[in-house]
Amino acid sequence: MEFLFPYAWQTREIAARLEAHGLQQVLFNAPPGDWDAGERGLACLPGREVEFRAGVHRALDYARALACPRLHVMAGLIPEDASFESLRPVYVDNLRWAAQQAAANGVELLIEPINPRDMPRYLLNRQAQAHALVAEVAAPNLKVQMDLYHCQIVEGDVATRLRQYLLGGKVGHIQIAGVPERHEPDKGELNYPYLFWPLDELAYRGWVGCEYRPARGMEPGGTSAGLGWLRPWLQE
């Protein structure tokens, strides 16, 4: 299982449900600031370092309790009077500190490029940008969360980018969704059966998260009905 934020529930309640259903928690996000007010992370924002660090500590408490091996730290939105380059120093410092804290807990830290159509002004948009930051921070446990939905919208040429970045060994988690509606991955312009082959060719051993909005999600049973695309893969 992966989900956005666990903080509205007690760790013991989540852990009990995971155990009851034979599931493993593999990913969640660190606190993003005031989500309801539109904040999408604090890592790149000067003056929010204390709040960012408190959020990382809280996330690691949950990660320990849920035996979760990886944590996504959202970068944040670029303020109107700022630029990527002006925010880069504080972002790198925060990532370096957070990676050290995560490493001490046996946790992998992830950053994710997100397309600007869904999340305008988000700091990270491109795979190369994220991988350059990972190289700059130079922490062994800092990796990239590669969402193929975002990658297709911003860059395209997804199979080539999968091969390029999987070879680099710095992709820690992959997510999928149909493009452009972000529904089930068997609908839309991406050919996922084709895109799954590089994962085997390059011996990717991580998880593939199905981060999409079910097309029938508001209907009774709609989410479960939408999982029909997965059955052939489970049979194989």
DSSP-derived secondary structure for 86-106 = HHHHHHHHHHHHHHHHHHHTT
pLDDT, the chain, mean: 96
Q: Domains in the chain, start-ordered, CATH in brackets?
A: 11-235 (3.20.20.150)
Alpha carbon 233 to chain centroid distance? Answer: 23
Q: Which of 2, 108, 112, 184 is catalytic?
A: 112
Q: Which two tokens stand for residue 56?
A: 């990382």
Residue 231 scores a pLDDT above 80: yes
- Give the pLDDT score at 79: 97
Percentage above 70 pLDDT, the chain: 100
Q: Which two tokens stand for residue 167?
A: 């070879």
Q: Which of 201, 211, 219, 236 is catalytic?
A: 211
pLDDT in tens, 88-134: 999 999 999 999 999 999 999 999 999 999 999 999 999 999 999 99
Rg (CA), the chain: 18
Tell me whether the omega of the peptide bond preceding residue 232 falls within 30 degrees of 0, making it cis: no
d(CA 45, CA 82) in angstroms, rounded, equals 10
Per the annotation, the verdict on 112 as an active-site residue is yes
Residue 58 scores a pLDDT above 80: yes
Helix (H) or strand (E) holding 142: strand 142-147
Residue 86: pLDDT band with limits 50, 70, 90: very high
pLDDT in tens, 11-52: 999 999 999 999 999 999 999 999 999 999 999 999 999 999
Residue at 161: amino acid letter: R
Residue at 95: amino acid letter: L
pLDDT in tens, 155-208: 999 999 999 999 999 999 999 999 999 999 999 999 999 999 999 999 999 999
Residue 220: pLDDT band with limits 50, 70, 90: confident
Return the exposure string of 63-97: e unless at least 16 CB atoms fall within 10 Å of the residue's CB, then b.
beebebbbbbbbbbbbeeeeeeeebeebbeebbeb
Per the annotation, the verdict on 211 as an active-site residue is yes
d(CA 226, CA 184) in angstroms, rounded, equals 7
d(CA 96, CA 146) in angstroms, rounded, equals 20
